[in-house]
């Protein structure tokens, strides 16, 4: 039996940072951990169309800093910043404190495994052919500069009586190489025949050779954020 490990958890602390960065004692830890889960769930549910692959949370004694990586910041910001202001207020009530919200724009969403998996899941939910949906997303990732792509869907594909797994690969995806920049994502498509699981692995090259494709939305950063320095 093959022994698998999560491609993100395998690299956290080595080549990737933790998405939640804070320290708490035994009494406060469960509460803060639950808050992190609620924050991520609330933002994903309210702004699913913004294509958000990950949300980072930094905590200090004075405030909670939330960094939202998204491919469509306009959906999250809203007209004249109305939506983002309302979101900041809602998150402030959720954490019962001051919230600093930063939006980081992803210029190449086709190289984010989570976004690719969600795009395939959305197409499957709309009864698209799974092979065509996988091939289309793979071609888009290749055009944007992916070194390797692996896509996998599992479930009652096409309404079949027996569930099965289909996989498409292109290029190389070195999952056991720590310095490899692997973007992994998974999503679930809810269809009339049941749920279909989607997983995506995107190999972008080695760490240090890949250019950062996120752009900080400076017009939404406040004075305190500017004094804190650039985002690592």
Q: Based on the domain organization, do 29 and 88 belong to the same domain?
A: yes
- pTM for the model stands at 0.85
Question: 41 lies in a domain?
Answer: yes
CA-based nearest residue to 130, from 161, 167, 163 = 167
Domain count, the chain: 2
Domain limits for position 62: 20-107+213-228
For residues 153 and 65, state if they share a domain.
no
Question: Are residues 170 and 222 located together in one domain of the fold?
Answer: no
Structure tokens at 199: 């997983």
Instruction: Name the residue among 186, 143, 171 with its Cα closest to residue 4.
Output: 186
Residue 62 φ then ψ, to 5°: -90, -35
Q: Render each residue's pLDDT in the chain as its tens digit; 232 residues.
A: 567 889 999 999 888 999 999 999 999 999 999 999 999 999 999 999 999 999 999 998 888 999 999 999 999 888 888 889 899 999 999 988 889 999 999 999 999 999 999 999 999 999 999 999 999 999 999 999 999 999 999 999 988 999 999 999 999 999 999 999 999 999 999 999 999 999 999 999 998 765 555 544 443 444 344 444 444 3
Q: Is there a single domain that holds both residue 140 and residue 86?
A: no
Q: Where residue 178 sits, what CATH number does that domain have?
A: 3.30.1140.32
Q: Both 195 and 120 in a single domain? A: yes
- CATH number of 50's domain: 3.30.300.20
Say if residue 182 is in the same domain as residue 128: yes
135, 78, 134, 72: which is closest to 105 by C-alpha? 72
Indicate the SS3 state at residue 170.
strand
Same domain, 63 and 84: yes
Pairing of strands 54-59, 20-21: parallel
CB-count exposure of residue 168 (10 Å: 0-12, 13-18, 19+): middle
Same domain, 156 and 70: no
- SS3 assignment, position 133: helix
Q: Is the dihedral of CA 185, 191, 195, 196 positive or negative?
A: negative
């Amino acid at each position: 039996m093959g022994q698998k490990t999560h491609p993100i958890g395998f690299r956290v602390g080595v080549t990737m940072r933790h998405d939640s960065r804070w320290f708490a004692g035994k009494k406060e830890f469960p509460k803060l951990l639950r808050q992190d889960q609620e924050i991520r769930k609330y933002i994903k549910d309210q702004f699913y169309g913004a294509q958000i692959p990950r949300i980072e949370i930094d905590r200090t004694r004075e405030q909670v800093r939330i960094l939202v990586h998204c491919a469509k910041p306009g959906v999250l910001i809203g007209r004249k910043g109305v939506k983002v202001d309302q979101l900041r207020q809602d998150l402030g009530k959720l954490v019962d404190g001051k919230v600093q919200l930063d939006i980081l724009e992803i210029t190449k969403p086709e190289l984010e495994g989570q976004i690719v998996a969600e795009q395939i899941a959305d197409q499957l939910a709309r009864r698209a052919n799974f092979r065509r949906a996988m091939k289309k997303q793979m071609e888009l990732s290749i055009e944007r500069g992916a070194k390797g792509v692996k896509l996998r869907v599992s479930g009652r594909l096409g309404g079949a009586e027996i569930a099965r797994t289909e996989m498409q690969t292109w290029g190389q995806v070195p999952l056991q190489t720590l310095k490899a920049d692997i973007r992994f994502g998974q999503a679930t498509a809810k269809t009339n025949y049941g749920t279909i699981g989607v997983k995506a692995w995107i190999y972008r090259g080695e760490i240090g050779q890949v250019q950062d494709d996120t752009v900080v939305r400076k017009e939404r950063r406040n004075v305190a954020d500017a004094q804190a320095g650039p985002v690592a």
